[in-house]
Every structure is written in structure tokens, then in C-alpha cells.
């Protein structure tokens, strides 16, 4: 799938152009990159179906960008991009991965200290050279060193939301082969972990050699690490490795359980088997030399007297103990976690009134096509100028516009909302009398992320006191592989949120997934209500809801914990109360 490669190229082109001092073009490339990384269709298929004209129908794609996409699809490269890279004196890709370093700061650091890459940056920071520069300081230098360390720990892992479409295409192609019977992805992808290392795919086939040959010859493969009669390992263009194993039918369930993991979960299941006088491995469950189970994954758990444990829960975080209690008839059992098809409304989306790409009407129609009963328009409101945040006057105008659109569209309800900035003192950046007119108010921290734990806790507690704040959006502010979560006292914030009936958001955007799974579980235990919202800036982002649901499942959340599983009336009644 070319979407991922193209989106990364366009993000880099935006940075490279900013380094050169170009004003408007970078925003266009960033916008298209965001669309491409969440586009459900393969851009190559779009082009094959209608050429340049079809490409220009993708939001944000004009003639110039369409021609560059065409060039990439035909040649595998974009001349403009290659030229910009050659002209750039620094390793922009690695430097922009450090939190707080944009293209302009990198340009300044190169001009003053000739910093070209992460090694140069680290040396300069450790030598105390950066703190002497205008606009930086000792704190900035410390943050840069922390950012470098964070980038290095994230190396070799890929965002689930970016890797999932590629893996699913791969699985689909393998399933289409006449030689394959069953094909399943295993490992961290199947557990829907927020970042993924290697990919594991399991297949059953009477002709394994043909399946292996097809796999290693896929056009996306750039390196073959190993090729054997029943297993092969390759590297794909995106930089990730993938193992394919051809399994015998009678062992497929056992292999799927084993290779799904995680390792600690598997160790405990094997111990339970041993206690029952059985042997469990990737080939099956054995009593002596006889295989007594293995073809079906569910029978693996049944044979050791456990209920089936969903893949997202297999993390050795109490799921086996809960399953044992359930097997013994106790009430404290495995939760019936939220399903992937139970969400009834989108709670966080942006339009062209702030930094979204489409109109209110277009976003509402896209939500309706998914089958939602309602959608909340939550454009930025307050001081976030980079996102074209609305002030009170524009927010009131948007409310009137939503009333008009509601009259024109049937089959879905459009709710009035906003994502208001939470200021450093915990007050909200829009007046209360205007917030009172909205159906749902999201509040978010968009500044001063380095605030100490005590002050950030006070900030969030003060925001929760505002009776108009309904949901705290992306509550920890983290950006996967880019920015750490800011620090606060979870117990205090969760207690205050429960008492105020303020919900916390599970932000489903692929580079946030905030709250993380352990935070969600803590919120569930504290009886705090949750919403799942995609933070969509275009219709193409709406399918990311799946990622947020997966995160909720990993956090042991059930239907009663998630507010937008409620019908429109129940949802609105909750916030009106």
C-alpha cells in the first residue's frame, strides 16, 4: 500500500520547504499527508480507476500534488523530493522526530552550530552550547536531550494505525491464493498494541512452497532474510520485518494462540497446562504423546478449563486470574469488553471552521455513512492560533450554521460542541455564557506541557470544576513516538472527574491513542465515564474509531463505561444532567 510511503514523503517535503523559507506550500503537503495516512483506499487503486482526475478527488489533492503522486506510482520516486533532500544540509527526518524541534529551529541550529544530525545535536546539548543561543536556554537543552533519548527508545517500532492497513492488504492477498486455507495475523498486531515491531502471519496450506514463493516475491518486499519450506522472513518497503509461517491444520489454533502472545501470558497458560498434567506448545495440547487439542484456538483455553480470552487482553495483567475466577463461578470475572461495532456517535471532529479540511455538512454526511446516530462538531476554540481557533463571535456563528445543516440533513443529529483550550491556571479560553449554549464541551491542554506534576494536577482539577466542561480531550497530551505524556496525579483527577461527571476521552487518532490502556483501566476502576473520539480533521480519519475501541478493549472497558455507545437520546440526557 503506497499511502504510508507517500504520506511520509509529503510530511518531509513540508519540512524541507519550511527550511527553505517557503510560506504556504508546506501546509498543503501536510494536509495531504494527513489524508493519505488515513485513506481507506489504496491510492494506487484510486489512480488505476480514474487517473489524475480520480486523484484530484482526494481531499487536498490539487493538480500539482496529483502529478507528484502519479510520478511516484510510475517511478517509485518524486524528483522534487529528491532535489529538496539533496539541497538540505541536515538530516531533517531524524531531527524533526525530537519533540519541540521544527524546521525553523533546526535551520537556526545549523546556522549557529552546524548541527546536521542527532549525533551533532546530542554533542552540542551535552556540551552546553545550545543553552547559549537566543530562544533556547538550559531547560530547552534538557528537553532536547530527553527528546533524543525518547526517539531512540521508539526506534524500530511502527504506529498501529499506519501498519494495520498494510498488514490487512497483505493478509487479503494471501487469502486470495488458491493454495491457502486459513490466514491470520498474530503478534502485537492481533493484540492491537499501539506500536508494533515485527509482523507475524500464520497460514495453513497443502502447498506451502507456492505460498512462500508468492510471499517473498511480493512487490513491497525489499529484502529476504530467510526462506525455508514452511517459514520465510522478509523486510518490506516501510522498514518493518514480517514472518510468514505455514502451519499444519491440526496445530493452527495452538500456533495462533502461541504467536499472538504476549510472552508472559503464554508462560502462565503453559504453567496452567502443566498443573493439569498436560503439555502446551505451538503444536497443540498433549497428554503424554497424544495431541488432544490444537486445531481451534478456543479449545486451547477450554482444555485448560478457561473461558476464551480476547487477544487484546493477553498481557499478563490479571486476565488469567480473572478467567480462573470466572471458571470457578465467581462474580469477579473477565469483563465483557466493548465490541468493535457498538459505537453510535462520533464525539470529536473538526471542520474547515478551524483546522479541518471539510465542511460541517461533509463531516456529518461521512458520519452518517458509517451508521452513526450523531456527530459532535468540536472545532478548536480559544488561543490556539495554529489551529485557527474560534473566538466567541465565530463560535456563535457556527452554532447558527449547525442549526441550518441539521434542518437539511436527516438520519443523523449534529451536536454543537467545541474543543476549548484549558489555560495554564485551569480556566477555559471561552466565556462561560457561550459555552453554556453548546451541547458538549471538550477541554484540552494545548500548551505548557512541561508544567510540573503538582501544577498540572491543579490545572486539570480547576478545569473540571467548570460546570460547562463535559469531556477532557486527549487527557495526557502524549504523541506516540514524538512527545511524552505530561504528568499529573491520576487518582486526584479521576476522583474529581467522577464526582463532577466529567468524562475522559480515549482519543483514537493514530498518533495519540490517549488515554493509554493502563490509564483506561485505572479510569474504569475509578468509575469514570469515557468517550471515544477520532479527533477527525477529515472524513478519512473517522475509521480510526477502530483504534480507539481497541485501546478501550485493552483497558478492560465495557459498554457501561463508554458514553458514545449510548443512543442519541441517552447520550444527550447524560450531559444535560
CB 357 within 8 A of CB 329: no
Nearest to 99 by CA among 412, 509, 449, 335: 449
Rounded to an integer, what distance in angstroms lies between the CA atom of residue 14 and that of residue 10? 6
Cell of 18: 519550511
Q: Could you tell me the mean pLDDT of each successive run of 10 residues in the chain, 577 residues long? A: 76 83 78 76 84 85 88 86 85 79 84 87 88 85 82 78 90 95 96 93 95 92 91 88 94 95 92 93 92 93 94 94 90 91 96 89 94 96 79 95 95 96 95 95 93 95 96 95 90 96 96 94 96 92 95 96 95 86
* Residue corresponding to grid cell 482539577: 461
Distances (CA, A) of 546 to 19, 245, 261, 341, 530: 36, 27, 21, 9, 15
Question: What residue ranges define each of the domains in the chain, with the CATH number in brackets?
Answer: 3-88 (1.10.150.110), 158-246 (3.30.460.10), 252-310 (3.30.210.10), 345-576 (3.20.20.140)
All three cell numbers of 380, joined, read: 478548536
Report the pLDDT value the prediction gives residue 11, as an integer from 0 to 100.
84
Report strand pairing: 284-287 vs 290-293: antiparallel
Q: Please name which of 304, 330, 303, 335 lies closest in space to residue 319, comparing C-alpha atoms.
A: 335
Closest by CA to 148, choosing from 130, 132, 161, is 130
Residue 1: per-residue pLDDT: 55
pLDDT at position 138: 86
Burial string for 113-130 (b: 16+ CB within 10 Å, else e) reads bebbebebbbebbeeebb
DSSP-derived secondary structure letter, 258: H
Instruction: Specify the pLDDT at position 154.
Output: 65
Query: CA 262 to CA 313: how far, in whole Å?
Result: 10
**How far is residue 553 from each of residues 23, 392, 477, 546, measured CA to CA in Å?**
43, 37, 21, 10
| Alpha-carbon gap, residue 42 to 527, rounded angstroms | 41
CA distance 532 to 522: 16
Q: Are 496 and 463 in contact (CB under 8 A)?
A: no
Which pLDDT score is estimated for 403?
95
User: Cell 524546521 maps to which residue?
Assistant: 103
Q: What is the pLDDT of residue 105?
A: 87
User: Is the peptide bond preceding residue 262 cis, with omega within 30 degrees of 0?
Assistant: yes
> How many CB atoms within 10 Å of residue 171?
17
Nearest alpha-carbon partner for 103 in 32, 161, 29: 29
Q: What is the pLDDT of residue 419?
A: 96
Residue 358 grid coordinates: 471539510
H helices then E strands: how many in the chain? Answer: 24, 18
Number of other residues whose CB lies within 10 A of the CB of residue 452 = 11
Q: Which of 201, 172, 174, 204 minimizes the C-alpha distance to 186?
A: 201
CA distance linking residue 258 with residue 281, whole number of Å: 7
Amino acid at each position: 500500500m503506497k499511502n504510508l510511503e507517500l504520506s511520509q514523503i509529503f510530511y518531509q517535503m513540508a519540512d524541507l520547504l519550511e527550511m527553505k523559507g517557503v510560506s504556504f506550500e508546506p501546509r498543503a503537503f501536510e494536509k495531504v499527508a494527513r489524508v493519505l495516512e488515513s485513506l481507506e483506499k489504496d491510492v494506487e487503486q484510486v489512480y488505476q480507476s480514474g487517473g489524475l482526475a480520480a486523484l484530484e478527488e482526494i481531499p487536498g489533492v490539487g493538480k500539482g500534488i496529483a502529478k507528484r503522486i502519479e510520478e511516484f506510482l510510475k517511478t517509485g520516486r518524486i524528483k522534487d523530493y529528491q532535489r529538496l533532500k539533496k539541497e538540505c544540509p541536515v538530516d531533517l527526518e531524524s531531527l524533526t522526530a525530537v519533540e519541540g524541534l521544527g524546521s525553523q529551529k533546526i535551520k537556526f541550529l545549523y546556522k549557529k552550530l552546524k548541527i546536521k544530525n542527532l549525533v551533532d545535536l546530542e554533542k552540542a546539548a551535552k556540551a552546553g552550547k545550545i543553552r547559549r543561543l537566543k530562544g533556547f536556554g538550559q531547560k530547552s537543552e534538557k528537553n532536547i536531550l530527553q527528546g533524543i533519548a525518547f526517539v531512540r527508545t521508539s526506534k524500530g517500532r511502527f504506529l498501529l494505525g499506519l501498519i494495520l492497513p498494510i498488514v490487512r492488504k497483505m493478509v487479503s492477498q494471501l487469502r486470495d491464493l488458491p493454495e491457502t486455507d486459513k490466514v491470520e495475523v498474530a503478534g502485537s498486531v492481533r493484540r492491537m498494541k499501539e506500536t508494533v515491531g515485527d509482523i507475524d502471519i500464520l497460514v495453513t496450506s497443502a502447498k506451502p512452497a507456492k505460498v512462500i514463493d508468492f510471499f517473498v516475491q511480493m512487490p513491497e518486499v525489499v529484502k529476504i532474510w530467510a526462506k525455508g519450506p514452511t517459514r520465510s522472513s522478509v523486510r518490506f518497503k516501510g522498514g518493518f520485518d514480517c514472518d510468514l509461517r505455514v502451519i499444519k491444520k491440526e496445530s493452527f489454533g495452538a500456533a495462533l494462540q502461541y504467536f499472538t502472545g504476549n510472552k508472559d501470558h503464554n508462560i502462565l497458560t503453559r504453567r496452567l497446562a502443566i498443573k493439569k498434567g498436560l503439555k502446551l506448545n505451538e503444536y497443540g495440547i498433549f497428554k503424554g504423546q497424544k495431541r488432544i487439542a490444537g486445531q481451534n484456538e478456543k479449545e486451547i483455553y477450554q482444555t485448560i478449563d478457561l473461558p476464551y480470552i480476547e487477544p487484546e487482553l493477553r498481557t499478563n495483567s490479571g486476565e488469567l486470574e480473572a478467567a480462573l475466577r470466572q471458571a470457578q463461578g465467581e462474580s469477579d470475572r473477565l469483563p465483557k469488553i466493548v465490541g468493535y461495532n457498538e459505537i453510535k456517535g462520533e464525539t470529536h471532529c473538526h471542520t474547515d471552521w478551524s483546522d479541518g479540511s471539510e465542511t460541517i455538512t461533509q463531516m456529518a454526511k461521512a458520519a452518517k455513512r458509517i451508521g452513526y446516530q450523531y456527530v459532535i462538531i468540536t472545532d478548536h476554540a480559544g488561543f490556539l492560533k495554529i489551529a485557527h481557533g474560534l473566538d466567541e463571535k465565530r463560535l456563535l456563528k457556527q452554532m447558527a450554521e449547525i442549526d441550518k445543516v441539521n434542518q437539511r440533513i436527516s438520519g443523523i443529529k449534529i451536536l454543537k460542541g467545541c474543543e476549548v483550550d484549558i489555560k495554564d491556571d485551569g480556566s477555559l479560553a471561552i466565556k462561560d455564557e457561550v459555552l453554556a449554549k453548546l451541547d458538549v464541551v471538550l477541554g484540552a491542554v494545548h500548551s505548557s506541557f512541561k508544567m510540573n506534576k503538582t501544577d498540572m494536577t491543579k490545572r486539570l482539577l480547576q478545569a473540571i470544576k467548570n460546570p460547562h466542561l463535559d469531556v477532557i480531550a486527549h487527557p495526557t497530551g502524549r504523541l506516540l513516538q514524538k512527545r511524552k505524556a505530561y504528568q499529573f496525579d491520576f487518582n486526584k483527577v479521576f476522583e474529581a472527574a467522577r464526582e463532577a461527571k466529567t468524562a475522559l476521552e480515549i482519543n483514537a487518532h493514530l498518533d495519540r491513542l490517549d488515554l493509554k490502556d493502563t490509564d483506561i483501566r485505572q479510569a474504569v476502576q475509578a468509575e469514570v465515564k469515557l468517550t471515544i473520539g477520532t479527533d477527525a480533521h477529515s472524513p478519512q480519519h473517522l475509521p480510526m474509531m477502530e483504534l480507539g475501541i481497541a485501546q478501550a478493549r485493552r483497558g478492560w472497558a465495557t459498554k457501561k463505561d463508554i458514553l458514545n455507545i449510548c443512543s442519541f437520546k441517552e447520550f444527550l440526557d447524560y450531559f444535560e444532567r
